[in-house]
Amino acid sequence: MTYDPRNHHRHSIRLKEYDYAAPGAYFVTIVTRNRMCLFGNVADGVMWLNVLGRIASAYWAEIPHHFPNVTLDAFVVMPNHIHGIVIVTSPIGVDGVGAQHAAPLHGPQPVPHVNVVPGSLGVIVRSFKSAVTKRIGTLRTIVGTPVWQRNYYEHIIRNERSLNHIREYILNNPLQWEIDWENPLRPASPTTKVLAPWKT
């Protein structure tokens, strides 16, 4: 079966019965609004971050400083999306101390099926997105311009084999950019098939 993120993402809504604050490893993908290439470009299989990409990368790397129950594994900032492995190592206290990058964005931010328990995956991603949006907003001419698509995509990593395949997929993502489903210039019918890392 070939890797089609659009199809995978469509079926990757939060599981209502799953506790996203529970210890575990998660493969997360966060995409920019309208898949705009905001974070730099890929040349010769290497991702070259611009100033916005460096902000996204730095804020991602700082997640454990704001969420003491989280460690990070492999991640990559691509021109219009981020892939990363988030590992929730233990449940966080109900007070949620240290569980914010920045104040939430103004106005309602509905995210279907997101677990809003302090320290949960949904809160971690929402905090990251909010912080990056706020920082980038200080550099863009139109403050408040959306940076991200609503929601995000995740896959629960259930074993070491899957973890290793996903790590490899993330680290090789720049090499696969020409056929990446998020690439707006991707050929309509690429000859090379990229398998979903959780299915190999």
Provide mean pLDDT across the span 45-60.
96
pTM for this predicted structure: 0.75
> How buried is residue 95: exposed, middle or buried, by Cβ count under 10 Å (0-12/13-18/19+)?
exposed
Q: What's the full length of the chain, in residues?
A: 200
**Residue type at position 171:** L
Tens of pLDDT along 115-130?
A: 456 668 899 999 999 9
Enumerate the β-bridge partners of residue 89. none
Answer yes or no: are the C-beta atoms of 83 and 173 closer than 8 Å.
yes
pLDDT of residue 191 exceeding 80, the answer is: no
Tens of pLDDT along 157-182?
A: 989 999 999 999 999 999 999 888 88
State the CB neighbour count (10 A cutoff) for residue 135.
Answer: 17
CA atoms of 83 and 166, how far apart (whole Å): 10
Answer yes or no: are the C-beta atoms of 97 and 35 closer than 8 Å.
no
Beta strands in the chain (DSSP E): 24-31, 40-43, 46-49, 70-77, 81-88, 153-157
